[in-house]
Chains A and B, each alone.
Chain A
Amino acid sequence: MSRKPTLHVPHTPARPGEDPDFSYVQISEAGAVERPEINTRVRDMVHLSEDMVRVLDEQHKGNGPWNPHLDEHDLQVGLRHMLLTRLFDERMVRMQRQGRISFYMQSLGEEAISVAAAQALAPSDMLFPHYRTQGLQIARGRNPVDLMCQCLSNSRDMCKGRQMPIMYHWARGNIFSVSGNLTVQYPHAVGWAMAAAIKGEDDVAAAWIGEGSTAEADFHHAMTFAAVYQAPVILNVINNQWAISTFQGFAGGERRTFAARGPGYGIASIRVDGNDFLAVYAVTRWAAERARRGHGPTLIEHVTYRVGAHSTSDDPSRYRPRDEAKAWPLGDPVERLKQHMIVEGMWSDERHDKLIDELRDYVTECWEEACSYGTMTEGPFLDRNELFEDVYKDMPKHLIEQRERLRALDADWDGE
C-alpha cells in the first residue's frame, strides 16, 4: 500500500492539564554500565551514548565501576556548593520578583551538573559556561557578592554594566563569558583546547549548552573541529527536557539520544544521569583524563529536568503540566546526595538543616554587601563614561567625540 509523506511535528508527551509522561526517558540501573579505559576507541564504546551512567541507586548507595569513591570532605564540599547555588538562585529570583534586578535564570534541579564538573576538573582547566551553569562559579570559589553585583549592574559589576544579569565571566577563575547567543561558546572551547595542544600544555577546556542549542550550526562546527584535531575538550549537553516551551524532541531527541550524535563524528560519548552527583563527577573525570592524556574529546549528555521556569520572564504553566517536576524519574540532585551521605553515616537531617540556615544567612549577608556597592535605583553607580571604554583597546577618535557629545548633552540641557 502506498502512503504519502506527512509532515511530522514532534508532540510533547504532556501539556497543561495532562498527566506528566516521562516514559520516553530510557534509564539504566545504577552501576550497570561498564566503565571503559580512557583510551578506548570510539567505536568500542558506542553503547555508552545510549545507556545512562548512574551510580546512586534507589537505596542511595553508590554502585558499580563509575563510583568515584569520594571521601567525606569532597562529598560535603559538593553538597555545600549545590546548596549554595540553589539558595543563591532562590534569593536572586526573589529579588527579581521584587524589582531589585531586571532578570534572572535559576538552575534549580540542575546543580549537580556544574558543581560536580567543576570539582572533577583542575583549576587551570578553562570553562565555557552557558546561562544555567552558575554552579561552576560557586564551585570554583567565586564570592557570590561578585555575581550579585553583576546582576545589579552596580559600581562593582565585572561587566561594567554591559551585560544582562547572569552573563558573568571570571578571567582569574578560568571561566569564560556567558553569551546570550547560544552554542557560540562550543567552538570557542574547541579553539581554546586546540591552542593548549599547540602550546604543549595539558589543560583541557569544557563547555556547556542546553539540548535545544544542539540544533545550532556551532554544535556541528565544534564537533567537527574537536574530532578532526582531537582537541582536549569536554563538550557537555545539558538535556533538561525543555528549551523554553519546546520539549527535547524539537531539537532532534525523539529517536536517538543527544549523546548518540558523538560517535557519528568519531567522538567518545557518554549519557549520564545528570541528577546523580557521583555519576556526573565520575564521567567528567574520565573525560578530563582522556583529554589530558591525548586521547581526544568527549561529548557528555546530562539527563536532567528544568524544575524552574526558563527565566524570570517565562511562565511554564502555559506549556507543561504544573506537577511535572514531581514526576521526573531521576529525582533531585541535592536530595539524592544528601540521602547518600546519610546512608553512608557522614551526614544527618539536622546537619543538613543547619547548613541550609548557615548558607541562607551567608547569601543574605552577600546580598546586603552587594547592595552597598549600588542598586538599580541607588548609588554608587557605574561611571557613565564606561559606555565608551573597551570597544577597542585604545579609544578611537570617533568614540572620544561621541563621549564628549553625551557629556555636552547634559551640560546643554542642565536646568531646563
Chain B
Amino acid sequence: MPQMNMIQALNSAQDIMLGRDPHVVIIGEDIGYFGGVFRTTDGLQRKYGEHRVIDAPIAEGGIIGAVIGMAVNGLRPIAEIQFADYIYPGFDQIASQLARIRYRTAGDFFTPVTIRTPCGGGIRGGQTHSQSPEGLFTHVSGLKVIMPSNPYDAKGLLISAIEDDDPVIFFEPKRIYNGPFDGDPDKPAVPWSTHEKGEVPEEYYTVPIGRAEVVEEGEDLTVLCYGTMVHVAQAAARRVEADAEIVDLRTLAPLDVDTIRKSVEKTGRCVVVHEATRFSGYGAELTATVQEECFYHLEAPIERVCGWDTPYPHAFEWDYFPGQKRVAAAIEKVLEAE
C-alpha cells in the first residue's frame, strides 16, 4: 500500500476528481501555477489546465461568491481558502447564501461546493494562522462540516465532499499535514509513514460523511475529539494508562450521535476535546448531546478541554494549546469522580 502524508492524500483526491468529473474545478489563492502554499494542489494546473485549476485574486468573499455562481451553472467547484483565519470575508456568502440556496428555492437551485481550508494551531502561526472556527459553521443549517485526522480519511472524505450535492466546509488540521502530532512540541516530528492511516490507496475510494470512527476501543471513558486532537487524546490516555475509548468524529455536522451514544452508554464517562475556544464552542454542543442522550448512563460530569477563551497567541502557544497534560488531567478527573 502506498504511503501518503495528508497533503499528498488531499492532492490525490482532487487529482482523481478532476480526472473523473469535467465539472470539478478548483479556485483559490496561489493554488494554480504555484500549487498552493501547502502544496495541496501541486501539479494539478499543469495536468488539468488553468481553466480547471484557477488562481484567484486575494478576495475570499469573491472566491466563495463566485463558486456559488459556478455551482448554479452546473460546475462542482472546490474553493481553497488559504487559512481558515481568512474565511471571514466570505462568511456572509457561506452563511446566508451557500448554506440556504437549496432551502430558499425549494430545491430548484443547489450548490455542490466544497470549501477546503487549513485550520488549527501548533505551527507558530499566531492569531491569524492558527484558528479553529468550525463552531461558527456547524451552527449554520444547510452546511456539512468535516475535519479529518489522518491521510486515509482526508482523501476518502474529500472525495465524498466533492461528490456531495450539499455545500461542505472541509477543515484540514495543518499541524498534522506532514505527520501525526501528539501534542508534545519538544519531541521530534513523526512522519505519516509510521502510522497505519498513512497507508492510502492510489485509486478512488470514499469515506462516508456523517460517520464517526472509534479509533481506540476502551471501557473506562469516552473521549470525543477530531482533527489534531485525536492524536493528542490518544497520547494523553496512554500517559495516564487510561482504558479510554477514543472517538474521532470526522464529520462535525451532521453529527454521528449513534456512535457517541453507544460509546458513552458503555463507558459512562466522557471528555470532550477541541482546539477551538471553549465558550459557545462546538464542545458545548457535544456536551449537551451526551447529557441529553446518555444522562442515565453518566457516572461523572462531562469535562471539556479546549483552547482558552483568548485569541490564539504567538509566544504562549503551548500554554494555549490543549496539549497532553490538560487532556490527561481531564481524563483523570473524570475517572476519579465517584
CB atoms of B109 and A195 under 8 A apart? no
Q: How far is the CA of A132 from the CA of B81 in the complex (A)?
A: 33
CB atoms of B57 and A225 under 8 A apart? yes
Q: How far is the CA of A176 from the CA of B210 in the complex (A)?
A: 30
How many residues on the B side are at the interface (Cβ–Cβ under 8 A)? 44
CB atoms of A177 and B65 under 8 A apart? no
Q: Find chain B residues with CB under 8 A from A398 CB.
A: 254-255, 257
Q: Which of A358-416 contact B (CB under 8 A)?
A: 386, 389-393, 396-398
> What's the nearest-Cβ distance from chain A to residue B292, in Å?
11
Q: How far is the CA of A188 from the CA of B17 in the complex (A)?
A: 24
Identify which of B66, B74, B166, B257 contacts A190 (C-beta below 8 A).
Answer: B66
**In the assembled complex, A221 has its CB within 8 A of some CB on chain B:** yes
Q: Find chain A residues with CB under 8 A from B25 CB.
A: 198
- Known contacts A176-B109, A181-B92, A195-B70; is A190 also within 8 Å of B59 by CB? no
**In the assembled complex, A222 has its CB within 8 A of some CB on chain B:** yes
Identify which of A126, A162, A199, A221 contacts B106 (C-beta below 8 A).
Answer: A162
CB atoms of B70 and A222 under 8 A apart? no
Q: Find chain A residues with CB under 8 A from B89 CB.
A: 217
- Known contacts A179-B96, A198-B25, A225-B59; is A187 also within 8 Å of B73 by CB? no
CB atoms of A177 and B105 under 8 A apart? yes
Q: Find chain B residues with CB under 8 A from A177 CB.
A: 101, 104-105, 109
Identify which of A184, A195, A199, A391 contacts B65 (C-beta below 8 A).
Answer: A184
Q: Find chain A residues with CB under 8 A from B185 CB.
A: none
**In the assembled complex, B19 has its CB within 8 A of some CB on chain A:** no
**In the assembled complex, A341 has its CB within 8 A of some CB on chain B:** no
**In the assembled complex, B267 has its CB within 8 A of some CB on chain A:** no
Q: Find chain A residues with CB under 8 A from B194 CB.
A: none
Identify which of A189, A199, A217 contacts B69 (C-beta below 8 A).
Answer: A189
Identify which of A162, A179, A199 contacts B74 (C-beta below 8 A).
Answer: A199
Central interface residue in B65, B93, B103, B104, by most chain A CB within 10 Å: B65
CB atoms of B101 and A225 under 8 A apart? no
Q: Which of B90-146 contact A (CB under 8 A)?
A: 92-93, 96-97, 101-110, 141-142, 144
Task: Produce 1/0 per residue, A211-234, CB < 8 A to B.
Answer: 000000110111011001000000
Task: Produce 1/0 per residue, A175-198, CB < 8 A to B.
Answer: 011010100101111111111101
Q: Find chain A residues with CB under 8 A from B69 CB.
A: 128, 187-195, 205
Q: How far is the CA of A176 from the CA of B106 in the complex (A)?
A: 12
> What's the nearest-Cβ distance from chain B to residue A390, in Å?
5
Q: Which residue of B lies closest to A188 (CB)?
A: B69
Q: Which residue of A lies closest to B141 (CB)?
A: A391
- Known contacts A187-B69, A196-B73; is A171 also within 8 Å of B166 by CB? no
Q: How far is the CA of A316 from the CA of B59 in the complex (A)?
A: 37
Q: How many A-B residue pairs have CB under 8 A?
A: 141
Q: Which residue of A lies closest to B93 (CB)?
A: A184
Q: How far is the CA of A198 from the CA of B54 in the complex (A)?
A: 11
- Known contacts A191-B67, A222-B62; is A392 also within 8 Å of B73 by CB? no
Identify which of A159, A196, A221, A392 contacts B61 (C-beta below 8 A).
Answer: A221
Q: How far is the CA of A196 from the CA of B89 in the complex (A)?
A: 25
Q: Which of A270-292 contact B (CB under 8 A)?
A: none
CB atoms of B57 and A184 under 8 A apart? no
CB atoms of B103 and A179 under 8 A apart? no
Q: Find chain A residues with CB under 8 A from B51 CB.
A: 198
**In the assembled complex, B72 has its CB within 8 A of some CB on chain A:** yes
Q: Which residue of B lies closest to A172 (CB)?
A: B108
**In the assembled complex, A158 has its CB within 8 A of some CB on chain B:** yes
CB atoms of B74 and A195 under 8 A apart? yes
Q: How far is the CA of A167 from the CA of B69 in the complex (A)?
A: 18
**In the assembled complex, B68 has its CB within 8 A of some CB on chain A:** yes
CB atoms of B109 and A397 under 8 A apart? no
CB atoms of A169 and B96 under 8 A apart? no
CB atoms of A188 and B102 under 8 A apart? no
Q: Find chain A residues with CB under 8 A from B67 CB.
A: 191
- Known contacts A184-B96, A186-B65; is A396 also within 8 Å of B75 by CB? no
**In the assembled complex, A100 has its CB within 8 A of some CB on chain B:** no
Task: Produce 1/0 per residue, A26-70, CB < 8 A to B.
Answer: 000000000000000000000000000000000000000000000
**In the assembled complex, B165 has its CB within 8 A of some CB on chain A:** yes
Q: Find chain B residues with CB under 8 A from A397 CB.
A: 254, 257
- Known contacts A160-B106, A176-B109; is A194 also within 8 Å of B66 by CB? yes
CB atoms of A171 and B65 under 8 A apart? no
CB atoms of A225 and B62 under 8 A apart? yes
Q: Find chain A residues with CB under 8 A from B64 CB.
A: 187
**In the assembled complex, A163 has its CB within 8 A of some CB on chain B:** yes
Q: Find chain A residues with CB under 8 A from B109 CB.
A: 169, 171, 176-177
Q: Find chain A residues with CB under 8 A from B103 CB.
A: 162, 390-391
Q: Find chain A residues with CB under 8 A from B141 CB.
A: 391
Identify which of B56, B65, B165, B210 contacts A222 (C-beta below 8 A).
Answer: B65
Q: Find chain A residues with CB under 8 A from B71 CB.
A: 191
Q: Find chain A residues with CB under 8 A from B165 CB.
A: 393
CB atoms of A188 and B68 under 8 A apart? yes
CB atoms of B65 and A192 under 8 A apart? no
Central interface residue in A126, A177, A181, A392, by most chain B CB within 10 Å: A392
Q: How far is the CA of A186 from the CA of B97 in the complex (A)?
A: 12
CB atoms of A192 and B70 under 8 A apart? yes
Q: How far is the CA of A218 from the CA of B93 in the complex (A)?
A: 9
Central interface residue in A169, A171, A190, A221, by most chain B CB within 10 Å: A221
Q: How far is the CA of A181 from the CA of B101 in the complex (A)?
A: 13
CB atoms of B57 and A159 under 8 A apart? no
> What's the nearest-Cβ distance from chain A to residue B110, in Å?
7
Q: How far is the CA of A384 from the CA of B109 in the complex (A)?
A: 21
Q: Which residue of B lies closest to A181 (CB)?
A: B96
CB atoms of B66 and A225 under 8 A apart? yes
Q: Find chain B residues with CB under 8 A from A171 CB.
A: 105, 108-109
Would you list 5 pairs from A and B whose C-beta atoms are within 8 A, ordered by A residue?
A179-B97, A184-B92, A186-B65, A191-B72, A225-B62
Smallest CB-CB A-B distances: 6 pairs: A191-B69, A187-B65, A221-B62, A191-B66, A195-B73, A192-B69
List residues of chain B with CB under 8 Å of any chain A CB.
25, 51-52, 56-57, 59, 61-62, 64-75, 89, 92-93, 96-97, 101-110, 141-142, 144, 165-166, 210, 254-255, 257
